[in-house]
Amino acid sequence: MFNVIKSLRLFLVGKALQDTEQESQKFGVGWGLPILSSDAISSVAYACEEILLILIPVMGVAAYAPTLGAVAAVIAVLFILVYCYRQAIDLYPQGGGAYSVARDNLGRGSSLFAGAALIIGYVLTVAVSACSGTAAITSAFPQAIPYKVALTLFFIALLTIGNLRGIRESSVLFGIPAYLFIIIIVSMIVVGIVKAVVFGVTPAPSSAGLPSLGSNLTLALFLMAFSSGCSGLTGVEAVSNSVPNFKEPQQRNSKVTLSILAGIVFVIFGGVSVLVAIYKVAPMPDVTVISQVASSVFGTGSVMFYVVQGATAIILFLAANTAYSGLPQLMSLLARDGFLPHRFSTRGTRLVYSSGIIFATITSAVLVIGFKADVHLLVPLYAVSVFLSFTIAQGGMCKHWFVDKGKSWLHRALLNGFGALVTTVVCVTIVIAKFEYKAWVVLILIAIKVWLMLNIKRHSDHVETSLATTENVRNIIRRHPPRSKIIVPLQKITKAFIKTLNYAMSLGGEVEVYHVAVEGEDIEEFKRQYAELGIGRIPLVIEKTTYRDIN
């Protein structure tokens, strides 16, 4: 049975990689862009629709001009966030995004709230993206609607396997479809605008049956629409969270990727929104807005209609891959700081943080089943967690500039402060506007997550203190005459090791201490600590390995 499981794992995941191969697993701008930007790019499939769902029921066919205004405001916030995260990349090349910014500038409490919000946001990224991809499929093939939960879980499983195989393989596997989506959507935007503006071809709009209510646009209504459209900004922070996954020069490649991402989102989100206004597309049950746009531009049932639907479904599924890249990296930082179990800080067979990947899969699957793969129920929860982390990141950067007072610090601080104000307004608006959808539940979940992390830290500190050696403990190692050879494995010099060593010597034999050194470990420092025990007569054997798992 064990051999069968091992063979299956080898087939699905691949052979183990050595630590020395880690650099070859990193990606450059070319592959990093589709892997880390697919979430933000794919949000075009539902962000504009979320705005229309707020405005059309109140304003009818008069809603399209305010829709474009809301889209323009969302894009403006996008560029503020990109500016903030470019600075974060320079200051925190170890990754972690909002968590690292808050940890160094706002203290433990804020950093844990940022970390908890990001973890929940990434899990919701997987759930929302996978459900949106399924919605694109069921829009083209309505007969698949009864199976949307099963379809969503199936695609999450495929993403999990792809990411467990390693960064390099997943970047190639998921990168090509992302580029195809960009090309296809840009082509649809160009063709749609040319048909309408140059040739005057505009099919009957789906909003034809809507009355022109003519209700006045209030500030509250616009803020609700704007905050709903801000779901299109999710995924922007992924690049700053994943800086260590880039090839050298890591910071430069990360910033270039982030800038290109902003340009692509501007073109695609803005272009599709213009098409929605031109063709007067309105949200419909079980048919996505982007599906209606493709139908208006290329014709229902045409080859290009199905190409757009297929490309949209794929990019939405791949958007979940952004979380699979950013979440494990973030959880590894939290684990190294003692706020998550140590296992999240170790790389698996293929040099990826496997525990973080599996965590994302299990928790997102629970959400998909619990919410029955309904995108509109998940998006408000998604947006709250993401914008809370945005607010903390902007606030942390603002404080950094006031304390650091470097070059041009004042205008940077003001811009970050304005960004923090905007993202706070968005976050509060979402909680209020989506109160009936229980968006506030995310705040409770974040608080629970923070409480859990504090307890994990308390426990790990207690264990560390209990196992820590002192001079007195090091001097109570017992002396016994040798009889037979006994090997004592040693990972770290602690009280537990000393007790084990004392027991081994009590058996009356020749004792040898055996240590396996992993890549990057300071062997000379380890030898110095061992020498301080004063047991030079017991040999220390150190064997180096290029793998993480020494079992």
Spell out the SS3 assignment of 400-450. Answer: HHHHHCCCCHHHHHHHHHHHHHHHHHHHHHHHHHCHHHCCCHHHHHHHHHH
Residue whose C-alpha is closest to residue 230's, from 427, 446, 440:
427
How large is the C-alpha radius of gyration of the chain?
Answer: 27
Measured in whole angstroms, how far is the alpha carbon of residue 449 from the centre of its chain? Answer: 17
What distances in angstroms separate CA 538 from CA 167, 484, 502, 503, 534, one per listed residue? 43, 13, 12, 14, 9
Residues whose CB falls within 8 Å of the CB of residue 374, separated by 6 or more in sequence, listed in order: 131
pTM above 0.85, yes or no: no
Q: Which residue has the higher pLDDT, 25 or 446?
A: 446
**Interhelix angle 409-433/64-91, nearest 10 degrees:** 130
Q: Is the dihedral of CA 44, 49, 54, 60 positive or negative?
A: positive
Q: Tens digit of pLDDT for each residue in 417-434?
A: 888 888 888 888 877 776
Q: Which of 178-192, 247-261, 435-449 has the lowest mean pLDDT?
A: 435-449
> Once rounded to an integer, what is the mean pLDDT over residues 327-341?
87
User: Side by side, which strands form the sheet with 484-489?
Assistant: 484-489, 509-517, 540-544
Q: Which residues pair with 510 in a beta bridge?
A: 485
Asked whether the beta carbons of 316 and 44 are under 8 A apart, the reply is: no
Q: Choose the most confident range, by mean pLDDT, from 344-348, 401-405, 439-443.
A: 401-405
Q: What is the spatial distance between Cα 238 and Cα 246, in angstroms, rounded to a whole number?
A: 12
Asked whether the beta carbons of 516 and 543 are under 8 A apart, the reply is: yes
Q: What is the spatial distance between Cα 93 and Cα 513, in angstroms, rounded to a whole number?
A: 38
Provide the pLDDT for residue 11: 46
Structure tokens at 70: 């809301």
pLDDT cut 70: percent of the chain above it: 84
Q: Which residue has the higher pLDDT, 332 or 97?
A: 332
Q: What is the spatial distance between Cα 388 and Cα 118, in angstroms, rounded to a whole number?
A: 9
Residue entry with tokens 């067979």: 349
Residue whose C-alpha is closest to residue 395's, from 94, 91, 98, 120:
98
Given a cut of 50, whether residue 72 has pLDDT beyond it is: yes
Asked whether the beta carbons of 62 and 74 are under 8 A apart, the reply is: no
Asked whether the beta carbons of 269 and 193 are under 8 A apart, the reply is: no
Q: Which residue has the higher pLDDT, 226 or 191?
A: 191
pLDDT cut 90: percent of the chain above it: 5
Given a cut of 70, whether residue 2 has pLDDT beyond it is: no
Q: What is the spatial distance between Cα 275 and Cα 271, in angstroms, rounded to a whole number?
A: 6
Q: What is the DSSP letter of 196?
A: I
Q: Tell me how crowded residue 135 is: count the other CB atoms within 10 A of its CB.
A: 26
- Specify the amino acid at residue 324: Y
Given a cut of 90, whether residue 190 has pLDDT beyond it is: yes
Provide the pLDDT for residue 451: 94
Structure tokens at 392: 């903390």
Asked whether the beta carbons of 241 and 88 are under 8 A apart, the reply is: no
Q: What is the DSSP letter of 352?
A: S
484 φ/ψ angles, rounded to the nearest 5 degrees: -130, 170
Given a cut of 70, whether residue 171 has pLDDT beyond it is: no
Provide the pLDDT for residue 450: 92
Provide the pLDDT for residue 455: 93
Q: Where are the alpha helices (DSSP H) in 194-288?
A: 219-229, 238-241, 250-278
Asked whether the beta carbons of 294 and 308 are under 8 A apart, the reply is: yes
Provide the pLDDT for residue 230: 80
Provide the pLDDT for residue 362: 92
Q: Strand, helix or coil at 217?
A: coil
Given a cut of 70, whether residue 42 has pLDDT beyond it is: yes
Asked whether the beta carbons of 550 and 518 are under 8 A apart, the reply is: yes
DSSP H or E stretch at residue 511? strand 509-517
List, as one string, the DSSP characters of 465-485. HHH---HHHHTT-------EE
Provide the pLDDT for residue 452: 93
Q: Tell me how crowded residue 178 is: count the other CB atoms within 10 A of its CB.
A: 25
Residues whose CB falls within 8 Å of the CB of residue 142, separated by 6 or more in sequence, listed in order: 286
Q: What is the spatial distance between Cα 133 and Cα 137, in angstroms, rounded to a whole number?
A: 7
Asked whether the beta carbons of 265 and 298 are under 8 A apart, the reply is: no
Structure tokens at 221: 């209504």
Q: What is the DSSP letter of 45?
A: G
487 φ/ψ angles, rounded to the nearest 5 degrees: -105, 125
Q: Tens digit of pLDDT for each residue in 99-125?
A: 888 888 888 888 899 889 889 888 888
Q: Are strands 484-489 and 540-544 parallel, antiparallel or unpaired?
A: unpaired
Residue whose C-alpha is closest to residue 489's, from 508, 515, 510:
515
Asked whether the beta carbons of 153 and 366 are under 8 A apart, the reply is: no
Q: Which residue has the higher pLDDT, 170 or 484?
A: 484
> Once rounded to an integer, what is the mean pLDDT over residues 25-52?
76
Q: Which residues pair with 514 in a beta bridge?
A: 489, 541
